Structure 1
Amino acid sequence: MDVAKSRHLEGSVNFYRLSRKFVDESEMPQEAKDIMYYSLAIGHHLGVVDCLKSEMQCSGEEYLEWFSALEEGSEAYNKMKGFLVFGEITINPEHINMLALAFDKIDTNKQSEKSKYLTQGLIDILTAIHKEPNMYLMIRGGQ
């Protein structure tokens, strides 16, 4: 795939961090609530609503410039390139070390101010995910 021709570069790129979760109990019969709470207790999140907070935003071209500084073909590069293929990616706790190490290797002298901002913002979010493993980051295209 030619990354520069992705249709997902046309709009904005938004970085959303999970800020909280809540259980949607509106108009739910007690029997259904009992099943939902049981499923939560065993690890299935039926009825749970994730609240995502916008943390950063950039243009598609800025995103491409930013992640292209990673080693092409590396696991980190391929993870971030996934946005161009699917229009969104999720970064979970298992991605923290891999991404942090890869973005830390980038020579900041060769980065634009926006790329430096995105790198520092990502590192801050990865640190927050490390401290709270139930958190995740969603990178999704916007308008």
Structure 2
Amino acid sequence: MDVAESRHLNGEVYFYRLTRKFVDEKDDIPQSAKQVMYYTLAIGHHLGIVDCLSAAMTCSGTEYLDWISALDPESEAYRKMKGFLMFGEITVFPEHINMLALAFDRIDQAQQSVKSRELTKGFIEVLTAIYHEPNMYLMIRGGQ
């Protein structure tokens, strides 16, 4: 797929950051079922868990493409970030933060637009927050 022809370039790109989680207990759940729900949470599954996301940054699809184009096209970081252009959504988990932070930190800021520098700075700030709170994650998603 040619990333320049992605249909996800036409809209806005939102960088949603997990702000909090809570267990949805609006129904009276039997104690045995609650134990299953808490166990799945403990092992990393989100059965019965509601994630609260807030937009940390936004840009246009073309600004996103311009921003990630500064990455080495053969790198794992570029492949990860290009996933948005293919699927319209990617999730950045704690296991991605070192790889992505190093890749974006290596970009020569003199070669970036003002918007790309803003995105890099904001992105690294969110990655740093994820580093300090490993239950957090970032979702990059398109919108209209």
CA distance in 1, matches of 2:42, 2:142: 33
CA distance in 2, matches of 1:95, 1:56: 18
Structure 1 length as normaliser, TM-score? 0.94
- Any conservation in 2 of the 1:15–1:55 contact (CA below 8 Å)? yes
Which aligned pairs between 1:1-143 and structure 2 lie closer than 5 A? 1-31=1-31, 32-143=33-144
Identity of aligned residues (%): 71
Work out the number of aligned pairs and report it. Answer: 143
Gaps of 5+ in 1: none
One-letter amino acid of the counterpart of residue 25, structure 2: E
CA distance in 2, matches of 1:101, 1:108: 14
Inter-CA distance 42–86: structure 2 relative to 1 (3 Å threshold): closer
One-letter amino acid of the counterpart of residue 57, structure 2: M
Inter-CA distance 141–106: structure 2 relative to 1 (3 Å threshold): same
- Any conservation in 2 of the 1:25–1:33 contact (CA below 8 Å)? no
One-letter amino acid of the counterpart of residue 13, structure 2: V
Structure 2 length as normaliser, TM-score? 0.94
Deviations 1:122-143 (A, max 9, x none): 0000000000011100000011
Inter-CA distance 101–40: structure 2 relative to 1 (3 Å threshold): closer
- Any conservation in 2 of the 1:76–1:99 contact (CA below 8 Å)? yes
One-letter amino acid of the counterpart of residue 109, structure 1: A
Gaps of 5+ in 2: none
3-state DSSP class of the match of 1:61? Answer: helix
